[in-house]
Structure 1
Amino acid sequence: MNACRVGLVTPGAHPEMAEIEAQISAARGRISPLYQVLLNSPAVVQGWEAMLTAIRLNTSLPPRLRELIILRVATLNNAPYEFDAHVPHALAAGMPPALVDELRSGPAPSQLQGLEQGEAEVLALTDAMTRDIEVPDAVFAPLRARYDDTQLVELAATVGAYNMVSRFLVALRIGH
């Protein structure tokens, strides 16, 4: 496979980055190759960590739903590193291993077994935002009926943020 396109910053190599490295380690348990790349830009890594932490830990979305979105985006964007990084989170959120395996293979949401009520509609949003950007009214209407404005913002932000993550990973060949 091709190597990462930019250098990985060794944690501890830049004393001025100690605070953000400590935050990343505390939140994630380690400084992954993704964050070692992000450490090349102090401004980007700080903003990235703040936004992704908010989406991962501080929204009202159930963890299973969030992880369903993340795994779907990773599959659609051919970002196996991101998919693999989130499998433990999906399993911890109660997603059955069989559903994780199905998500990895990428069938249409209507073909997935083991989805809970409303999850196919969220996957339709995920697919529309990831593939086409524009979300048709017919895709949005069932979500409007189920979720309030806060949750709709959080759904769209989760899809958008993890598209950013997966596209960043793929473009820079992180984790290949």
Structure 2
Amino acid sequence: MPRIPILSPEQMNSEQRRIHDAVVSGPRGMLVGPLRAAIHRPELADKWQQFGELLRYRTSLPSRLSELAILVTARHWDCQVEWHLHERDAIKAGLEAPIMAAVQLGERPAEMDADTAAAHDFGAELLRDRFVSEPTYQLVLARWGVVGVIELTAIIGYYSMVAMTLNAHELPLPDGVAPPLEARA
């Protein structure tokens, strides 16, 4: 049960409905995840959805690596909804099942190409240590340049905010969906 009301379009005021309609007509196609909470403050929801759209659909990073960074973030925060919403996108983007399975368990995947390892390790270090080691940072910088390293950092930060919002307000998984992440000891 969510801790806050989840508004249907019929319950929204005109400003909330305007943001809802903008989100639904965009690449997401529906109001999902933390936007269901943010819609209570329409200006926040509007800025949030714009920022999320940029980071999800218009970065210079390959989509499979963006989705990997999102899954690493979801696992760090034990965010069931975030994992559920992005697992299918990661598969569609070509992220390999063994990599996803290791991340789902909170482990470093055993076999990754150099690009995947760089993106994974950057996210894992930033979330775990709150900093990124110089070797890992330089690997990402060498592969994707200044813009890529900024975007990767922003993806991890943005999806941390998403996970915290989903977890804090206990926004539920869709009906009939089992939690995809096992509890950690």
Fold in common (TM above 0.5): yes
Q: Aligned residue for 1:142?
A: 139
Separation (CA, whole Å) in 2 of partners of 1:84 and 1:114: 23
Mapped contact 1:73–1:130 kept (Cα < 8 A)? yes
Query: In the alignment, which of 154, 157, 167 is matched to residue 151 of structure 2?
Result: 154
Post-superposition shift, 1:114?
4.8
> Residues 77-110 of structure 1: CA distance to partner in whole angstroms, max 9, x if unpaired?
1001100100111111012333322321111x2x
Query: Counterpart of 1:60 in 2: which secondary structure?
Result: coil
Question: Could you tell which deviates more after superposition, 129-138 or 160-169?
Answer: 129-138
The 3 A distance-change label for structure 1 pair 65 and 18 is: same
> Which protein has the bigger helix share?
1
Question: Could you tell which deviates more after superposition, 45-54 or 8-17?
Answer: 8-17
Q: Aligned residue for 2:176?
A: none
Query: Counterpart of 1:175 in 2: which secondary structure?
Result: coil
Separation (CA, whole Å) in 1 of partners of 2:72 and 2:113: 15
Separation (CA, whole Å) in 1 of partners of 2:97 and 2:157: 25
Query: In the alignment, which of 102, 123, 127 is matched to residue 124 of structure 2?
Result: 127
Q: Aligned residue for 1:77?
A: 77
> Residues 27-54 of structure 1: CA distance to partner in whole angstroms, max 9, x if unpaired?
3122225322211111210111010000
Q: Aligned residue for 1:9?
A: 7
The 3 A distance-change label for structure 1 pair 9 and 122 is: same
Write out aligned runs for 1:18-167 (5 A). Answer: 18-26=17-25, 27-32=27-32, 34-107=34-107, 109=108, 112-167=109-164
Q: Any stretches of 5+ residues in structure 1 without a counterpart?
A: none
Separation (CA, whole Å) in 1 of partners of 2:94 and 2:115: 16
Query: In the alignment, which of 170, 173, 176 is matched to residue 170 of structure 2?
Result: 173
Separation (CA, whole Å) in 2 of partners of 1:139 and 1:98: 22
Query: Counterpart of 2:114 in 1: which secondary structure?
Result: coil
Mapped contact 1:10–1:36 kept (Cα < 8 A)? no
Percentage of matched positions with identical amino acids: 24
Tell me how large the CA RMSD over aligned residues is: 1.7
Separation (CA, whole Å) in 2 of partners of 1:100 and 1:136: 23
Post-superposition shift, 1:168?
1.5
The 3 A distance-change label for structure 1 pair 114 and 90 is: farther
